[in-house]
Structure 1
């Protein structure tokens, strides 16, 4: 038997004002679009904003439907939109924020498993890491320099 040690490095910013100005702006866009989430079933609103290498910012919010949970998360709404409209662009950074209508969300909310896999696909395809910033409604913001910190055993096409 062999043991494997896995480590992840996450940077913690205690408040938005500690973020670099470009990330403050990006997170502001995520907070703004979070209000557009259609979440009548989960009551959990998520906003995502993506910065592309061409300077464009692509936004997304979660979109639910009565065949719950067949809606789509904010991160995938934004990623798939970026892939469709800017297929040659590289994703540099993603800002994610989540808020519950049931209670105040102060814990940083990372991407779900499906979103992690979608981010992995783009990170592998573009051969460059994607910085991921995530927060709750308020409070600390976590930064991962790459999806590999959040999903160390990534599944990709090389395994097929």
Structure 2
């Protein structure tokens, strides 16, 4: 038997103003993207913004459906749109923010399992990490250097050989 302890490093920013200017702009774009969310069932609106290596920013917002599995999260909307509009262009970073009609989201909103898997796929595809910034409506912002920090045992195409 072998016992292994996994540790990862992340940064906590106390406010949006503590982020470097470029990351502030990306998060503000994600906040604006939140407004286009279609969330009549959960009342939980998420916005995402992806910064590409060519400087382009692609947005996404969650899009729900009465048949719950048919909806799509903001992160995947943004990442898939980036892949469709700019194939082969590396994703540098992803900003995610959430708000609720029912309460104040005062802590960072992390990607769901499906989104984590999709981000992991893009990291593997581009052979480089994607910085992830997570924010609620208010409060702290967390930055992870890679999806592998929050999903250390990701399933990838190496299992499909």
Which range, TM-score by smaller chain? over 0.9
**Post-superposition offset of 1:155:** 0.7
Map of 1:32 onto structure 2: 32
Matched, 1:15 2:15: yes
How far off is 1:104 after superposition?
0.3
Q: Which runs of 5+ in 1 are unaligned?
A: none
Would you say 1:159 and 2:156 are equivalent positions? no
Paired position in structure 1 for 2:64: 64
The residue that corresponds to 2:114 in the other structure is 114
1:115-134 equivalence runs, <5 A: 115-134=115-134
The number of aligned residues is 160
1:69 offset after TM fit, Å?
A: 3.4
> TM-score, normalised on structure 2?
0.98
Matched, 1:149 2:149: yes
Query: When the two structures are superposed, what TM-score results if normalisation uses the length of structure 1?
Result: 0.98
Equivalent residue number for residue 89 of structure 2: 89
Measure, in 1, the Cα distance between the counterparts of 2:83 and 2:124. Answer: 14
Structure 1's consecutive aligned runs of 4 or more residues displaced over 2 angstroms after TM superposition are none
Q: Which runs of 5+ in 2 are unaligned?
A: none
